[in-house]
Structure 1
Amino acid sequence: MTAPAPYPQQPERPTSLIRAAIWVAIGALIAAAIVCVVWIFVGASNGIIGKAFLSILLLVAFSGAAILDAHLAPRRPSWFALSSMAGWVLLLLIGAVMIWMPERSYFSGFGRFIQFLLIVLIVQLVLLHVRLFTKAAQRYVTPFTQVVTIITIALVVVLAALLIVPLAGWEYLDLPELYWRFVVAVAILAAVGTMLIPLVNVLFAPRASRAGIVPASAQVAPGQPLPWPTFVDGVTPLPVMPDGSPDWGAYYTGYPSPGAVVVGYAPLHEPSAPVSGPPSPVAAPAHAAGGRSGYEGFPPPPPLPTQPPR
């Protein structure tokens, strides 16, 4: 009797926070379009066709980014999906201003395009930094790490804003030297905060288990011994290493490794009848199994190639 087919999974619907972010993106798209239309009628007629074309490209790019974020939102934390959408809205508004801002030189258009790309890069790097930094901060949570995380994220956002302002309005802004000193100071503090969390994790965070995932075929009920791995014949158990683990090297060579304890062993390369006795309960868990499943999280070794007859 075959098992009935499972019910088709319903697509995950966006949360209210993500819905609000999508509506904000729609509102920003409409507002940017209205601003561009108004500038067409009240702005200078010089280069209006090129600016209109760039505005269309900007709106299309923003729409594509918003749709992509909406599709990726179920796989992301809600706060990150909202932050990503807010970043694209900010880029849309900055791009519209940079396109329709009056030009002061002949090459201003190309310079603004390069600067807008740099602004996009800064915003995306900030989002990537926050995503990875918060993941690292969750490995070892203490009041100290929580304070460092909040302050560092705030410093990174402030640093991004300090870098975006001169890039967006470099033709009209004459920033004093103190401004750039403040930028350097914030950058140093943000870098120190970013390095503190990984250092704390290295010193105090628990390390992830290297055993890996135990395959379903190797899972047994609680309280029962794990099946001891065997040779390809499915009967002869592998030798036991001094630390109690299976001798995987013997699986490939057919001979026990130095220091391994032979329990019911028969070499594969010599025609002798295999001994099907289980391993000693002192050296290893008790009972041989017919499958080639892993042992205590170790993946099962691949099958040996067919040995030519002698």
Structure 2
Amino acid sequence: MTESSLPQPETETAHASAAPKPTGRVLPYVVLIALLACAIYSVVAILIDGEPGFGRALDSVLAVAVFTGLIWIDTLIARRRPKWFAAVSYCGSVYLLAFWVSNIWAEDIGGHLILGFAHPATLIIVRLTLLHVDLIRVMVRKGSGPLSVFIGALTGVAASATAILLTLSLHVWGAPLLELEPYSRVWAATAMLAAFGTIALLITGVLTGARVTRTAAPEPATLMWPRLHDGTPVPATPSGAPDFSALPPNAVLAWPRYLDGTPVPARATGGRHLSPPTTSERDSE
């Protein structure tokens, strides 16, 4: 391979990584559509609401401001994460905005108690779930085989479903959901599935790490000091390296051996003995 051909693979790789992917083109439109839908919903709600809407309008502006900060954070995180994680992170922020705006303009709103508990609680739950999914991604990457990928995907879906079911019960319209026994059972089942999946990934990572440690390649064996065919050691230079230049032209080296006496395997070309390198070969080295 010539030097002129070396930059070509890097250039192709750079063009491939710089090319926009479908996910990167769709996500900004999803965020803008969600923001526009929440704005229209707020405007319509404040026009048809019979009660004074200044406080709710201020809460909506605050929700949009927090949403903007979350999108900025998601954009920074997406630079060091896979595309699918960036999509999940953006969807989580969009879900929070839709939750907050619909909760603010609900007819039976419970005053500012929502901003004091429900909205911070949903923010903490969703962001902790994203952190959990990121940890699952790291554990799957350190694992091996399709089993780790399957367990990781199942655990991530279960963790996301748990967060959605829990936050829906904090909504004004979803408060009665916790009183339903099937809803509570499903929420508990998804939470247990996410917990057991995380533990399974941790155990898989520990076992995989132990197996890799046991099967690690041994260190390269050390060769014996080179000798001539008659057993005479090769002279040494002042630096302690073999001095092949001090050998006579007709000298023949013995076959190299490891410290335990095992001969070094021969190449495909074979050969019974090794000859000392010529002057041109030593100069080229």
TM-score range, shorter chain: 0.5 to 0.7
1:24 pairs with 2:30: yes
1:188 pairs with 2:192: yes
Deviation at 1:129, TM superposition (A): 1.0
Corresponding letter in the other structure for 1:129: H
Deviations 1:182-232 (A, max 9, x none): 322322222111100111111123668xxxxxxxxxxxxxx9x9xxxxxxx
> Hey, what does 1:37 align to over in structure 2?
43
Change (3 A) 1:116 1:14: farther
Corresponding letter in the other structure for 1:30: L
- TM-score, length of structure 1 as denominator length: 0.58
- TM-score, length of structure 2 as denominator length: 0.63
Deviation at 1:76, TM superposition (A): 2.0
Aligned residues: 206
Corresponding letter in the other structure for 2:197: G
Deviation at 1:60, TM superposition (A): 2.1
Deviations 1:215-255 (A, max 9, x none): xxxxxxxx9x9xxxxxxxxxxxxxxxxxxxxxxxxxxxxxx
Give the one of 122, 146, 151 matched to 1:148. Answer: 151
- The 5 Å alignment of 1:211-230 reads none
Q: 2:176 is paired with a residue of what secondary structure? A: coil
Deviation at 1:161, TM superposition (A): 1.7
Instruction: Identify the structure with bigger relative contact order (alpha carbons < 8 Å, sequence gap 6+).
Output: 1
CA contact (8 A) 2:168 2:174 kept: no
Deviation at 1:93, TM superposition (A): 0.4
Gaps of 5+ in 2: 1-13, 214-219, 223-237, 243-257, 260-285
> Hey, what does 2:246 align to over in structure 1?
none
CA contact (8 A) 1:98 1:168 kept: yes
> Hey, what does 1:297 align to over in structure 2?
none
Deviation at 1:132, TM superposition (A): 1.2
Q: 1:86 is paired with a residue of what secondary structure? A: helix
Deviation at 1:138, TM superposition (A): 1.9
> Hey, what does 2:129 align to over in structure 1?
126
Give the one of 60, 80, 96 matched to 1:75. Answer: 80
CA contact (8 A) 2:109 2:172 kept: no
Moved more, 81-90 or 186-195: 186-195
1:85 pairs with 2:90: yes
Q: 2:108 is paired with a residue of what secondary structure? A: coil
Change (3 A) 1:67 1:77: same
**Inter-partner Cα distance in structure 1 for 2:175 and 2:156:** 29
Q: 1:173 is paired with a residue of what secondary structure? A: helix
Deviations 1:5-46 (A, max 9, x none): xxxx99x68643123111111111111111101001011323
**Percent sequence identity over aligned pairs:** 29
> Hey, what does 1:55 align to over in structure 2?
60
Deviations 1:55-77 (A, max 9, x none): 11111222232234334433221
Change (3 A) 1:168 1:13: farther
Change (3 A) 1:171 1:71: closer
Deviation at 1:170, TM superposition (A): 6.4
Gaps of 5+ in 1: 1-8, 209-222, 226-275, 284-310
1:66 pairs with 2:71: yes
Change (3 A) 1:33 1:142: same
Rg larger in structure = 2
**Inter-partner Cα distance in structure 2 for 1:134 and 1:181:** 27
CA contact (8 A) 2:56 2:104 kept: yes
**Inter-partner Cα distance in structure 2 for 1:194 and 1:56:** 37
> Hey, what does 2:107 align to over in structure 1?
102
Deviation at 1:141, TM superposition (A): 2.3
**Inter-partner Cα distance in structure 2 for 1:66 and 1:14:** 19
**Inter-partner Cα distance in structure 2 for 1:154 and 1:43:** 38
Change (3 A) 1:42 1:16: same
